[in-house]
Structure 1
Amino acid sequence: MTAGVTSQPPRLILASASPARFATLTAAGLNPEVIVSDLDEDAFTATDVIGLVATLAKAKASAVFEGLGATEDVLVVACDSLLELDGEPMGKPVDGAAAIERWRRMRGRTARLHTGHHVVSRIGGQPDATSAVATTEVVFANIDDAEIEAYVASGEPLRVAGAFTIDGLGGAYVTTMCGDPHNVVGISLPLLRRMFAEHGVPWHTMWQPATN
């Protein structure tokens, strides 16, 4: 259901501890407040990777929204990202050895990065929710063992889903993408714009005034 257009920008809450998602939203002119849900992600299952990221995003957003006591207009945004390779979900590697093995599988190949997005709103007193998944194909460079070991030694692959970034050291090892590059960082801005519109919130109304 599409809500009526709000006259004032609602409070925006990002239900994620991801610095990359926060930075992406702020660079796009938004000013999110971070509230992280305390969910046991290992307790959730689904029949496929797309279903799993959608389920996790919904659970995170719903948990944060239900914990709000205020009554003002609000948008709660949650995301969950996983890389899919050979039909398997690839989250954060558990250690360096796992990251090295992961990269030996990924090099020279194409994988799919899925990010589940869930938005829960209360606009004009009426609750609403929408859910969607963005998918971006990622082609990895055919890097050698020395490059893999150096990259893993940097620690970066251990901190992110899929064991790579495009906005950090790992950017040199991604040759091609098909789809929204923001999605690979962890949040799709074009998809989120459409989801906000479904809640009656035009994207540009969420821009923060320039401070200079």
Structure 2
Amino acid sequence: MPDSPNRPPRLILASSSPYRRELLERLRVPFEVVVPAIDETPFEGETPEATALRLAEAKARAVAGGLDSSEPALVIGSDQVATYDGLQIGKPGTHEKALAQLQAMRGREVLFHSALCLFDSRSGTAQSIDVITRVRLRNLPDAALDAYLRAETPYDVAGSAKSEGLGITLLEAIHSDDPTALVGLPLIALSSMLLAAGYPLLETK
């Protein structure tokens, strides 16, 4: 059934991440979650920024492609890539890999590229941005890093430093224009995109 002209488009989060879902809930708008099926492997020679932006848009377009074309939707895709010294850091997956990541990053500045894409099925257009967060990690001993990992088990987090949890103790400083970007979904940028797309974020009831 075609949508009412006064009804806002469906809002869909193209992500399997519980952290992004929790962040989006802060906006207090109805949304659905659809997990995209894409290959997240970086291309050879691809920069971290390019990887994050490409995957964010690919997630949004993959989900949008499976929707009923008669019902307008705004699809949110996001991806995060951590990097230091030009090297990309992914999700560790295991305790051993997470410990190796933190050992390599301690005492260093790490850049987190949090890419965001809002795909509008009504026009077939996408808004995209890469929000960069600079993080400096403390130079902690192996025992402290191991204790953190066993307490937090952040094996599904890029760079293993879960800042919204105990991972904040690993950090000396965070520099970003958007405090939610490091967690994985830049809400300031997303709010701007939704408003630009005509979505009623603060509509009076």
TM-score by length of 2: 0.89
SS at match of 1:181: coil
Match of 2:129 among 107, 113, 132: 132
Trace 1:165-204 onto structure 2 (pairs within 5 A). 165-179=162-176, 180-204=178-202
SS at match of 1:84: strand
Q: 1:21 to 1:7 in 2, by over 3 A?
A: same
What is the distance in 1 between the residues matched to 2:45 and 2:66?
25
User: 1:11 aligned to 2:10?
Assistant: yes
What is the distance in 2 between the residues matched to 1:76 and 1:45?
28
> How far is 1:155 from its partner?
5.3
Q: How many percent identity over aligned positions? A: 34
> 1:136, 1:177 within 8 Å by CA — same for their partners in 2?
yes
> How far is 1:153 from its partner?
2.4
User: 1:141 aligned to 2:138?
Assistant: yes
Letter in 1 for 2:180: H
> How far is 1:69 from its partner?
1.2
What is the distance in 2 between the residues matched to 1:175 and 1:9?
42
Q: 1:136 to 1:202 in 2, by over 3 A?
A: farther
Unpaired runs of 5+ residues, structure 1, are 1-5
> 1:92, 1:162 within 8 Å by CA — same for their partners in 2?
yes
- Counterpart for residue 83 of structure 2: 84
Letter in 1 for 2:194: F
- Counterpart for residue 107 of structure 1: 106
Letter in 2 for 1:174: L
What is the distance in 2 between the residues matched to 1:128 and 1:46?
27
Unpaired runs of 5+ residues, structure 2, are none
Q: 1:46 to 1:116 in 2, by over 3 A?
A: farther
1:88-110 superposed Cα distances (whole Å, 9 cap, x missing partner): 11111142222111111211221
Trace 1:26-65 onto structure 2 (pairs within 5 A). 26-42=25-41, 44=43, 47-65=46-64
What is the distance in 2 between the residues matched to 1:106 and 1:203?
38
Aligned length: 200
1:140-190 superposed Cα distances (whole Å, 9 cap, x missing partner): 122221111112223523121111111112122122111122000001011
* Larger RCO (alpha carbons 8 Å, 6+ apart): 1
User: 1:152 aligned to 2:149?
Assistant: yes
SS at match of 1:158: coil
Runs (4+) of structure 1 exceeding 4 A deviation are 43-46
1:58-102 superposed Cα distances (whole Å, 9 cap, x missing partner): 111101001101422311001000111111111111422221111
> How far is 1:128 from its partner?
2.3
What is the distance in 1 between the residues matched to 2:67 and 2:10?
11
> How far is 1:9 from its partner?
2.6
Q: Which has the higher helix share?
A: 1
Letter in 2 for 1:137: R
Query: What RMSD, in angstroms, separates the aligned Cα atoms of the two structures?
Result: 2.0
Worse overlay, 72-81 or 148-157: 148-157
Q: 1:164 to 1:8 in 2, by over 3 A?
A: same
What is the distance in 1 between the residues matched to 2:75 and 2:91?
24
